[in-house]
Amino acid sequence: MTIVYKARWVLPIEGLPIDNGAIAVDEGRLVDVGKARAISAGTIHDLGDCILLPGFVNAHTHLELSCYRGMVPPMPLWEWFERLMTLIYGPGGPKPGQESVLAGAAESLAAGVTCVGDISRTGVHIATLRSSPIRKVCFLELISGAMQPPNDAASLAAMLDQAMTACQPDVLRLGVSPHTLYTVTWSDLCKAGDLARERRVPLTIHLAETSDEVEWLVHGTGPLADMLSKWKLPCASSSIRGSAIELLKMAGLLRLKPLLAHVNYISSREVASLAASQATVVWCPRSHRFFGHEPHRWQKMLAAGINVCIGTDSLASNETLSILDELRFVRRSVPAAEPDLLLEMGTIRGAKGLGLDARIGTLQLGKWADFAVVPWDAHGPRLPAANLLDGNQCVTRVWIGGDEIRRP
């Protein structure tokens, strides 16, 4: 049965905003998008004075760390990491578990996020996410020599095959995530790329997150060299040197069009090289501020043709898992940023980075009916994208595959 949803504004993202618009949904997919007066076949639901838009896409998060919200104050990354490891492995503190993962998924849905790219350190919580309606790409994270697997390429392949049993068509997909260029050996890095290629799954990696990382990759010196020796990781003795982008290219990972998390410290030359690769960069604005990084080059990346999207990182370094909150933060920080472009970064660009842009991220015929509703701000700007990002109205209703997940 076709259901028609009418709203004051429909923001397809792909195309102009539609005043007094509507979408028609049948069997979980969009079968019409346009002016409300032109769509009449089906049961009509008038959502009233609101903005209807695609569900947000959080392209980089760690749902299993949701239990650490507010437990570590803002500080440089390495200090934060040490504090977090003490909480995770020390006595008395909360531990990542099923409740943490499901709470993070529920909070994401309540904020209008209908799809996440989630990093799972050991993969044990991937099956847990089957019970959440949120769409997800779950990335198994590899750290060479870690206490728990995946700790080499072989264990990554074995755990990926095992986790395949949890997959759900259109709802739960798998990917691989060599953690960073400094916590994964060169051999494991190349094999992780081969695995992604052979299994036809996406690959993501934390990249150029700190200036210390850049120094270690190029020269093998600096604070990170000391930390790797302290952690006794096998990559501490690596002799392969180069910039982050050069190393990805040497390892064959750029051919995979990877999803690159953070990319806070790269040169103009690397920006140009990255643009030619068709990789996606996930910028996490509020987590970026949390760690006190230098200003991100997201605007220059966009100008160079790089697909830049938005993530939240985890609640251990952020206040919420809301992409709308992230976009509003960017809008306040950079008032000249175009609201329509920011909404692209929070929807279709994230979908593209996860390899799902043919199915989600815009309101177009044939795509899954994943959408959210935000009340119109009567005191805000008249243009809908600016009204959404300059206001403080919260998401009130959410649909995934045509099923309403959150009701007022």
What DSSP assignment string belongs to 235-299?
Answer: GGG------HHHHHHHTT-GGG--EEEE--S--HHHHHHHHHHT-EEEE-HHHHHHTTPPPP-HH
Query: Residue 372, by phi and psi: left (phi above 0), alpha (psi -120 to 50) or beta?
Result: beta
Same domain, 245 and 331: yes
CA 183 to CA 205: how far, in whole Å?
Answer: 11
CB 106 within 8 A of CB 320: no
Q: What is the token pair recorded at 338? A: 């175009």
328 and 366 assigned to the same domain? no
> Residue 55 CB: number of other CB atoms within 10 A?
29
CATH number at residue 26: 2.30.40.10
Dist CA 30 CA 35 (whole Å): 14
Q: What confidence tier does 316 reach under pLDDT thresholds 50, 70, 90? A: very high
- Backbone dihedral angles phi then psi of residue 339, each to the nearest 5 degrees: -55, -40
29 and 175 fall within a common domain? no
E strands, 130-223, are 135-142, 172-178, 204-207
Q: Within this chain, do residues 332 and 226 fall inside the same structural domain, yes or no?
A: yes
With contact defined as beta carbons under 8 Å apart, do 31 and 365 qualify? yes
Whether the pTM exceeds 0.95: the reply is yes
Sign of CA dihedral 39, 45, 47, 53: negative
pLDDT tens for 3-16 read 999 999 999 999 99
* Cβ-contact 398, 111 below 8 angstroms: no
- pLDDT above 80: residue 241: yes
Same-domain status, 266 and 373: no
Number of structural domains the chain divides into: 2
Do 128 and 204 belong together in one domain?
A: yes
Q: Which of 82, 84, 57 is nearest to 70 (CA)?
A: 84
Find the range with the poorest average confidence among 108-122, 171-185, 208-222, 226-240: 226-240
Contact 98, 350 (CB under 8 A): no
Within this chain, do residues 245 and 214 fall inside the same structural domain, yes or no?
yes
Q: Report whether pLDDT(97) > 90.
A: no
How far apart CA 162 and CA 148 sit, in angstroms, is 16
Whether 257 and 399 map to the same domain: the answer is: no
In terms of domains, do 202 and 269 share one? Answer: yes
Between CA 241 and CA 253 the distance in angstroms is 16
Counting residues of the chain whose pLDDT is more than 90, the rounded percentage is: 93
Which pLDDT band holds residue 406 (cuts at 50, 70, 90)? confident
Its domain, for residue 11, covers 3-55+361-406
Only one residue has tokens 């020269």, namely 219
* Same-domain status, 37 and 112: no
The sheet that has 135-142: what strands, in order across it? 56-61, 113-120, 135-142, 172-178
What is the pLDDT averaged over residues 34-49?
94
Q: Which of 353, 373, 388 is where one domain is finished? A: 353
Whether 253 and 379 map to the same domain: the answer is no
Amino acid at 348: I
Q: What is the C-alpha to C-alpha distance for residues 101 and 110, in angstroms, rounded to an integer?
A: 14
Q: What is the DSSP annotation of 145-170? A: T-SSS--SHHHHHHHHHHHGGG-BTT
Lowest mean pLDDT among 9-18, 62-71, 120-129, 296-305: 120-129
300-305 long-range Cβ contacts below 8 angstroms, 24+ apart:
300/268, 300/271, 301/263, 301/271, 301/274, 301/275, 302/341, 304/271, 304/272, 304/274, 304/275, 305/275
Q: Are residues 219 and 170 in the same domain?
A: yes
Mean pLDDT is lowest, of 26-30, 85-89, 175-179, 376-380, for 85-89
